[in-house]
Amino acid sequence: MSANLTAHLDLSQHQPLALEHRYMQAQRIAVQAAQLGLEYYRQRETLEVLHKDGVGQDVVSMADRELEDFIKGQLAEQFPEDGFLGEETGASDLQARCIWVVDPIDGTSCFVNGLHTWCVSIGLLVDGVPYLGAVADANHDELFHACKGLGAYVNQTPIVVNPAADLTLGVTGVGTSHRRGKEHFVPFLKQLLDEGGMFIRNGSGALMIAYVAAGRLLGYYETHINSWDCLAGLVLVSEAGGQCSDFLKDQGLTEGNPLLVAAPQLYPALARMIGPSLNG
């Protein structure tokens, strides 16, 4: 894979940005951060947990902050010219050509309650385009990663979206929050169930999007998601042959948006169930 990666990037207009190095570093940092998170996870009873803005679903722990500080420090050391957008520390240098978009622990509620459905997500925008991503799941020793034009992988195994032609032949991931958009959640579920589909919500959007790329889920719909939860996943799904809604429209990077990712043969059916809310 390394030789193919080098060949692709040498021919790319972005080659002076050392994207091969960024891709390899994103994988390394994601894995190291996830292992650090696993140490906190094993002693989670000792962590102070705070609720953001009084909303029970949105929680933050010392582990979230420590992991984001670690990731941000590693990236700044390697790529001081790059911008950064993180869930815990916010945005800096968003005018840069390369912008890292990071969720140190996606699925914090799962993390603090002993559920194995949390991960580290690191994505990179290059000139406004999702270019590479790494999603590290330390509990299952899996690293989902992709770079534009080079395919998607779990560890070193190539992955592709599910080939099923019918929503009854697999499981669709779903997510929502107590922020805007939740009113669209139950109507979508009803239509999916009426069509004979099944659904799962595991508490980590980043992980379920990676599962779409790996063919484990048919698709994933969230009524409103933030960029740090899905930027890496957008690259994973696209490189695995899937289809993604236009998440970055209308300030999606900083404000979030609805999101649908799915195998291309199933995307239209799921989009119809969501209706106009998917497009604002």
Predicted local confidence at residue 55, as pLDDT: 46
Give the model's pLDDT for residue 6. Answer: 39
Q: Which residues are annotated as a binding site?
A: 87, 103, 105-106, 229
Which residues is 59 bridged to in the sheet? 51
Higher per-residue confidence, 45 vs 107: 107
Domains in the chain with CATH codes: 2-159 (3.30.540.10), 167-279 (3.40.190.80)
Q: Where do the H-state alpha helices sit in the chain?
A: 2-10, 19-42, 62-78, 108-112, 185-194, 205-213, 227-239, 252-255, 267-274
Q: Place 252 in a pLDDT band, splitting at 50, 70 and 90.
A: very high
- Segment (H or E) for 146: strand 142-147
Please give the annotated binding residues for Mg(2+), written as ranges. 87, 103, 105-106, 229
Res 201 pLDDT > 50? yes
Model confidence pLDDT, tens digit, residues 2-42: 434 433 443 344 446 799 999 999 999 999 999 999 999 99
Query: In this prediction, what percent of the chain has a pLDDT beyond 90?
Result: 82
Burial of 247 (0-12, 13-18, 19+ CB in 10 A): buried
Q: What is the pTM of this model?
A: 0.91
Tell which wins on pLDDT, 7 or 84. Answer: 84
pLDDT on residue 151? 98
Q: What is the mean pLDDT of the chain?
A: 91
How confident is the model over 137-151, as pLDDT tens digits?
Answer: 999 999 999 999 999
Q: What per-residue confidence (pLDDT) applies to 53?
A: 54
Reported as a single tens digit per residue, the pLDDT across 205-249 is: 999 999 999 999 999 999 999 999 999 999 999 999 999 999 999
Cα 26 off chain centre by: 13
